[in-house]
Chain A
Amino acid sequence: DGGITQSPKYLFRKEGQNVTLSCEQNLNHDAMYWYRQDPGQGLRLIYYSQIVNDFQKGDIAEGYSVSREKKESFPLTVTSAQKNPTAFYLCASQPGQGGQPQHFGDGTRLSIL
Chain B
Amino acid sequence: AQSVTQLDSHVSVSEGTPVLLRCNYSSSYSPSLFWYVQHPNKGLQLLLKYTSAATLVKGINGFEAEFKKSETSFHLTKPSAHMSDAAEYFCVVSGGGAARQLTFGSGTQLTVLP
The residues of A with any CB-CB pair to B shorter than 8 Å are 4, 6, 31, 40-43, 45, 48, 50, 56, 58, 88, 90, 92, 94, 98-107, 109
Contact = CB atoms under 8 A, between A and B. Distances in A.
Contact of A105 (B34, B43, B52, B94): B43
Contact of A45 (B34, B49, B94, B101): B101
Interface in B7-56: 9, 32, 34, 36, 41-46, 49, 51-52
A109 B100 CA distance: 26
A40 B45 CA distance: 18
Nearest to A4: B43
B51 A50 contact: no
Contacts of B41: 88, 106-107, 109
Say what secondary structure dominates the interface of chain A: strand
A58 B102 CA distance: 11
B34 A48 contact: no
B99 A43 contact: no
Contacts of A102: 102
Given A41-B106, A98-B96, A99-B51, A106 B43 contact: yes
A81 B101 CA distance: 26
B42 A106 contact: yes
A40 B100 contact: no
Nearest to B34: A101
B97 to A, nearest CB: 8
Interface centre among B45, B49, B90, B99 (most CB of A within 10 A): B99
A48 B99 contact: yes
Nearest to B4: A42
Given A40-B9, A43-B104, A104 B99 contact: no
A42 B46 contact: no
Given A101-B49, A104-B45, A107-B43, A42 B102 contact: no
A-B interface, 5 closest residue pairs, ranked by CB to CB distance from nearest: A104-B43, A99-B32, A42-B104, A104-B44, A42-B106
